[in-house]
Structure 1
Amino acid sequence: MTRHRVWDPLLRLFHWSLVVTFTANAFFTDDESKLHEIIGYIVVGLIAFRLVWGMVGPKMARFTSFAPTAAAIADQMTDIATGRRAVHLGHTPLGALMIFNLLVTLAAIGATGYMLTTNAFWGIGWVEDSHEALVVWAEISIAAHIAAVIWESRRTGVNLPQAMVTGVKKVPKDAKIVP
């Protein structure tokens, strides 16, 4: 195994803080409680941090380092279909799509959640329906993300959850590395 330091401490703290806060709000708080609202603001703050960190953070945290292209997505899908084991040091192209999906979805959940606290939108059906639909979409996306992380960990031989805890990817010596 070769070791590659990839995820900085702030990126990892962001990731796990987002996991905890979204889970708390989606499953453990009363939707109409003040705690739900406060946690929602924390999630929005985390998203704002990630947007800034995606522009000024270390190389692997920057959006420019993993912006997916159609060719890169096709290459990853071909690798999966043919059993080739290419290991991306940063986010994979499909993983990048999921990151962008989740950032936009969580920001939209925050926006509709805020709208529900205002006099202009309180009790408006489409806002509440949108908020709830976005939460369901986020839950589906997160389930897909977890399944993909497990799949890619087994397929590539890289323990991706461990890498998101330690910041280090341990890559099998025989794996093709994609920078």
Structure 2
Amino acid sequence: MITTSRIRVWDPLVRIFHWSLVAGVAANLFLTEEGGTTHQWIGYGIAGFIGMRIVWGFIGPWSVRWKSFWPTPSRLKQALRPNYTAASSDNITHTTLGAVMMLTLLALLIGLAVTGYMMEETTRFWGVDWVEEIHEVMANALLLLVPLHVIGAIVESIKKHDNLIGSMVHGYRRVQIPPQHMTKHVDDRA
């Protein structure tokens, strides 16, 4: 018998990380002066949060560990099959394609931090056009991918009948789990 359970998926550290990235990226894209001191410090803060998340992905709870959702070749192959539905996936953290999106966004943010540092803190790359162009291309890629990320979360929320954006606020997901997969993470109050 399959039951619907309320499971803690996202711990406070990951939720703070996520919403801090949202705030930092929004501020740097829309509010701060490009290359200004505030822009730089927000960028360094984002880089620090990403460093923390990378480490947490190895030592944190099961649901935030890289191995729990890493898009391996076999997972990608399964996700790209025509008859695959993410709604029927037993992965309660990220779908495989959602993990690809999340890793792409993190890679872009790391690239932005590196190129931003190169442009502002080194004499070798200060004023070098190709570094500035790469930084701008990555920022524009974020402007394209972030709305796709949000749309993907909304679509999956509808498919799974579970508010995925809300889960990044309160940390819980409602999932259907066969009894043999139940873990200590089940909240019996659901």
- When normalised by structure 2's length, the TM-score is 0.84
2:31 matched residue in structure 1: 28
Point out where structure 1 has 5 or more consecutive residues left out of the alignment: none
Alignment correspondent of 2:130: 126
Residues 59-92 of structure 1 deviation map (CA, whole Å, 9 limit, x = unaligned): 111101111123323433447x666731531111
Counterpart of 1:11, as a letter, is: V
Code of the aligned partner of 1:140: L
Question: What SS does structure 1 have at the residue aligned with 2:7?
Answer: strand
Instruction: Using CA pairs under 8 Å that are at least 6 residues apart, name the structure with larger relative contact order, 1 or 2.
Output: 2
2-structure distance, mates of 1:146, 1:153: 10
Does the residue aligned with 1:60 lie in a helix, a strand or coil? helix
1:85 is matched with 87
Pair 1:68–1:173, CA change in 2 (3 A)? closer
2:33 counterpart of 1:38: no
Shift of the alpha carbon at 1:160? 0.1
Q: Deviations over 1:40-67 (max 9, x none)?
A: 1001101111111111111111101111
2:118 match: 115
Task: Identify which of 48, 67, 73 aligns with 2:76.
Answer: 73
Change (3 A) 1:83 1:42: closer
Number of corresponding residues: 175
Question: Which consecutive residues of structure 2, in runs of 5 or more, have no partner in the other structure?
Answer: 184-190
Give 1:154-173 correspondences, 5 Å limit. 154-171=158-175
1, 5, 9: which one aligns with 1:2:
5
One-letter identity of the residue aligned with 1:147: I
2:67 to 47, 64, 67: 64
> Does structure 2 conserve the Cα–Cα contact (< 8 Å) formed by 1:4 and 1:89?
no
| 2:140 is equivalent to residue 136 of structure 1 | yes
Is 1:19 aligned to 2:22, yes or no?
A: yes
Aligned to 2:6, the other structure's residue is in SS state: strand
> Partners in 2 of 1:51 and 1:69 — Cα distance?
17
